[in-house]
A and B are shown apart, each in its own frame.
Chain A
């Protein structure tokens, strides 16, 4: 898959990076000088991720534009449902919404997100490369403005006595209750869980989605999940697993790699990463369709700044997610407060990416509704 290739290239660049660029000059936004609204509502996910956005580009932007105010709304998890309701009521209060790639595709299909010309509204790379080439294949939809690549992966506690010194080294430790007893945390949805179940039931990686398409294949995945169902705590929000791990309520659990980075490195908890079979995904902005002109101008002015090469690289100093621009990769440096090198914590680092799984959102777009229903029914059994 092309996505992996780009991500790999990105990480290779990260490692070879030695020279720091001077503050890249990204020029003026295409709407400079036009009338703009003086407030913006940004929608994001809260937590460490929203903090990285705040530090890397919202605060610098507000310093440059002191008369602008930004309000955060932490409802990205329900962005699709909320935007639908807002459009029905004719009262869209959001200006820029941070969503995962799959949600961006859905919103774009429904006409709730604005289609954009990436080369026109986004800054080119410092060497003059067009934005669409710089972002490359990560532009998975005409409405989607990528920011970061992240992965869903596992963390485990390092102080579990029952494990007798053993530590999980591959994904199938999740299903191994004999060697690794204890509660596990998994996300309360079929995506990723079904794939991991089949992978550990002996299905080769490149046949997973073919198997999952059949009813027997789905049953096979549920049967595998059945073997650990009693030992699973189901999570809904990205913050749940870090809390559960810190409490010792679970001994291992899946969540976004940036949350685990924050738990391990910043909060110094006795937890380690299990990078095996990590699942890549993308996250980025969409602009709600039909914004009034002044608000749209403000959003475009902000976007030009917030997605340029330097700003995306800056974001990686606050959270271990890979910047979506190829040209940002060489600029990724050290953690803003701890001063540690961020590259080894990126999901795309070769040591971490020895075995990765590429999540097929096109496949899931077709099967999601059906499998969601089956999954909820299975949970209730």
Chain B
């Protein structure tokens, strides 16, 4: 960069491109942000013009006076926008002002300093640069659309009202508008606690069944001398392919008969047989996930290792636990994780197969949404999102650690 600035002709060019490129683009972005912000206080036009001026000014300053003090410049942008936000819309205005300032400051420097060309080779045409950044932008949008719907529920779950609504108090960041009452309700309400307990009973048992059966099936199916291998595989993974409602209808009649038999002949209580039915049904739903992930890891498994192990005198069981299992463990764990999540998230089958005594969290959420739209559902959803993130992170860390300990590089 420095050799470009040293050359006066280049500096001139840089200056022109600043006025014809970075300033108008940042001004446009500022105008859009100002328009949106102005809409909130019923002054869209003033917001549009003000935003354009502020955006252009930020880019100009970023390209000239504060070109080398990037941090100062960006904080200044944040500060200016926060003050404008405060004048226009109070506390909520400050927050949106800070956000807008951060975005404008970043974009202003990004465009003015030429960083937008950094990801592409220096000889690229402007078309290629444009495409590269558009591509990144589309990727960003995809992430946004995946994550934003989940993010919306988190602030809503702290709503002080009993409705799924961003109240005016919430939008003006008034502490009165927020409360933990839906979380309290979740932990005090016996229905939710029953559902939580049931989910924590059913999912681990279903996972255990799915992992043991699925792993064995995958190992068996990886032998090339099994007759009708494709057909067996197709049948085993069918619960994943057949629409869930069809599996559930079939399971309803099948497991009802099984439950009646258990109660009549083995003297099981209705509650116990209910749990057994749901656990078996969820186990069956989880098997395909384990088979698929374990089969995938078995592809990279060197068969000669089992022969070597047999050569050294280990029996098949010992070979399985000491040689094969450690090597396919990542596949088993991720399959188990899928099986767990399948059972934990599942609502259709449990509604058909289970009775009210076996209601799980998704059941309670589903029924709750239908009959009593209560933000407690959002509180539960927030908790579940946190659990899922924690679970995935833990498993991933454990997997990396075990791979490192065995001297394998991750991935």
Residues of A participating in the B interface, judged by any CB pair closer than 8 Å: 39, 41, 43, 45-48, 50, 71-75, 77, 85, 88-91, 93-94, 236-240, 242-243, 246-247, 267
Contact = CB atoms under 8 A, between A and B. Distances in A.
16 contacts: A39-B271, A46-B367, A72-B191, A73-B359, A74-B368, A75-B367, A89-B253, A91-B260, A93-B355, A236-B370, A239-B372, A239-B373, A242-B163, A246-B163, A247-B165, A267-B161
A71 B367 contact: no
B14 interface: no
A81 B274 CA distance: 20
* Nearest 9 Cβ contacts at the A-B interface: A46-B371, A73-B356, A89-B256, A93-B355, A47-B372, A91-B256, A246-B163, A74-B367, A46-B372
Interface of B: 161-165, 191, 194, 252-253, 256-257, 259-260, 270-271, 274, 355-357, 359, 367-368, 370-373
Nearest to B274: A93
Contacts of A90: 256-257, 260
Interface centre among A46, A47, A85 (most CB of B within 10 A): A46
Contacts of B368: 46, 74
Contacts of A236: 370
Given A72-B356, A93-B356, 8 more contacts: A71-B356, A71-B359, A73-B359, A74-B368, A91-B260, A93-B357, A239-B370, A239-B372
Contacts of B271: 39
**A interface, by DSSP: helix, strand, loop or mixed?**
mixed
Given A39-B271, A91-B256, A267-B161, A240 B356 contact: no
A100 to B, nearest CB: 14
A243 to B, nearest CB: 5
A89 B373 CA distance: 31
Query: Which secondary structure dominates chain B's binding surface?
Result: helix
Given A72-B356, A246-B165, A89 B370 contact: no
B256 A77 contact: no
A12 to B, nearest CB: 33
Contact of A243 (B163, B252, B359): B163
Contacts of A88: 253
Contacts of B162: 267
Contacts of A91: 256, 259-260
A71 B358 CA distance: 10
A255 B253 CA distance: 36
B373 A243 contact: yes
A247 B252 contact: no
B270 A93 contact: yes
Nearest to B356: A73
Given A71-B357, A246-B161, A247-B164, A85 B252 contact: yes
A46 B368 CA distance: 8
A41 B355 CA distance: 9
A41 B356 contact: yes
